[in-house]
Amino acid sequence: MKILAIETSCDETSAAIISDGIVASNIISSQYIHNKYGGVVPEIASRSHLKAIAIVVQDALKLAKADIKDIDAIAVTTEPGLIGSLVVGSNFAKGLSIRHNLPVVPINHIEGHLFSGFINNSSLKFPFIALVVSGGHTILFEVNSFNSYEIIGQTIDDAAGEAFDKTAKLIGLDYPGGPLIDKYAKMGNPEKYKFPRPLINSNDFNFSFSGLKTSVRYFINKNFPNGVEENNFPDLCASVQEAIVDVLISKSINALKQKNLNQLVVAGGVSANSRLRGRLADISENQNIEVFIPEFQYCMDNAGMIGFIASKKIEEKGLSYYKNLTFTASPNVFKRKGMEKE
Ligand code: KG4
Ligand code: ZN
């Protein structure tokens, strides 16, 4: 069974080939053009996807030594995301499907991240807690199977990646700020400045990061009224990063304890953060908790994770279920309380 997977929900154009449940190729073309605007410009994102999509799909086929004629099904991200971007991938998939008479499996992007811990990792078993943490989402899930999971907490305002990017902008760093905060923080003292850890002691699993951003803004206005000089970047970045990481870790551990589970999957772009990874490695060494973080290429937005969950859906429902299935792209955020809606 060979699946061609396509992901265009935000600013990465990606295609992958999944062969019998294994990711055989995973091509990701990132749109750096947004960096100079300080954030993703939706109209530019969709036009960039249009330019890249055919080449990225060709490259994925080539790397997997496959031909479109070998493909049994197409998987594509249809929600949530930027509507103009989603439409490019969805329509490309529909076009290929008509031309080559292939079924299309519509996939929710967050489900892709949620199960990415299984890619190249046979020791992860159900049930587990998953923290999906990216530029658009910060969600804690209790996961019992591929089609039974529940959102147990999520951000009530900004996502953690957004907190990284917005505070980086205040400090004077370019977009996307997360990787730059990570870089400078390695040289800084995380105890130097004390920023708030919003909702860290609340009894639920929800997050809130907009207050942290405001606090960083006031702090900079007061202490660095003429802008932050580069020699202050390390301590400031390390202190901001520590506040975000403290909250992510504390909520995840509380969820594991309360649900009596000992496996934690951390996925999404922010899981690339080296401090978060380091702290999670300490936890798995010192507590009875196994932590699973996908390889970097499966942490960021990628088609490999979309094809992987599609292969599980096909296993469950059969390929014929997806023949002539109608679907539309939808920008809606992931707000289902749990089960599959199919
Ligand atoms: O999953 P992703 O590639 O796209 C979304 O679906 O949002 O995540 C991108 C987010 C951005 O906010 C970026 O700043 C953040 O992940 N990010 C990081 C790091 N690498 C990416 N945040 C902190 N440290 C990093 N090393
Ligand atoms: Zn994502």
- Arithmetic mean of pLDDT, 81-93: 97
> pLDDT band at 69, cuts 50/70/90?
very high
Task: Please write the tens of the pLDDT for every residue from 72-86.
Answer: 999 999 999 999 999
Token digits for 30? 């990132």
Which protein residues have a CB closer than 5 Å to ligand 2 (ion)? 134, 301
Architecture of domain 122-293: 2-Layer Sandwich (3.30)
Q: Decide: 273 in ligand 1 pocket, CB within 6 A.
A: yes
Check if the beta carbon of residue 16 is closer than 8 Å to that of residue 60: yes
Atom 24 in ligand 1: residue holding the nearest Cα? 273
pLDDT of residue 334: 57
pLDDT of residue 336: 43
Q: For a substitution probing ligand 1, which of 32, 35, 79, 134 has the most ligand atoms within 8 Å of its CB?
A: 134
Q: Decide: 294 in ligand 1 pocket, CB within 6 A.
A: no
What is d(CA 324, CA 322) in angstroms, rounded to the nearest whole number? 6
The residue extents of the domains of the chain are 2-113+301-322, 122-293
Give the DSSP letter of residue 80: S
Task: Please write the tens of the pLDDT for every residue from 94-111.
Answer: 999 999 999 999 999 999
- Tell me how many helices (H) and strands (E) the chain has: 10, 10
Q: Measured over all CA atoms, what is the biggest interatomic distance in the chain, rounded to whole angstroms?
A: 63
pLDDT of residue 162: 95
Task: Please write the tens of the pLDDT for every residue from 284-314.
Answer: 988 889 999 999 999 999 999 999 999 999 9
> From the CA of 230, how far away is ligand 2's center (Å)?
30
**CA triple 184-190-193, angle to 5 deg:** 105
What is d(CA 181, CA 165) in angstroms, rounded to the nearest whole number? 9
Q: Decide: 136 in ligand 1 pocket, CB within 6 A.
A: yes
> pLDDT band at 333, cuts 50/70/90?
low
Token digits for 37? 């605007």
What is d(CA 52, CA 44) in angstroms, rounded to the nearest whole number? 12
> pLDDT band at 342, cuts 50/70/90?
very low
pTM > 0.85: yes
Please count the other Cβ atoms lying within 10 Å of the Cβ belonging to residue 68: 15
User: Which segments within 174-245 are labelled E, that is strand?
Assistant: none
Q: What percent of the chain has pLDDT over 90?
A: 91
Homologous superfamily of the 2-113+301-322 domain (CATH) = ATPase, nucleotide binding domain (3.30.420.40)
Collapse the DSSP code of 200 into the 3-class scheme (helix H, G, I; strand E, B; otherwise coil) and give the result: coil
Atom 2 in ligand 1: residue holding the nearest Cα? 269
Q: Decide: 14 in ligand 1 pocket, CB within 6 A.
A: no
Fold agreement between 2-113+301-322 and 122-293:
yes
Cα dist from 193 to 50, 92, 225, 239, whole Å: 45, 49, 17, 6
Closest Cα partner for 287 from 252, 245, 319? Answer: 252
Arithmetic mean of pLDDT over the chain: 94
Q: Decide: 298 in ligand 1 pocket, CB within 6 A.
A: no
Check if the beta carbon of residue 90 is closer than 8 Å to that of residue 76: yes
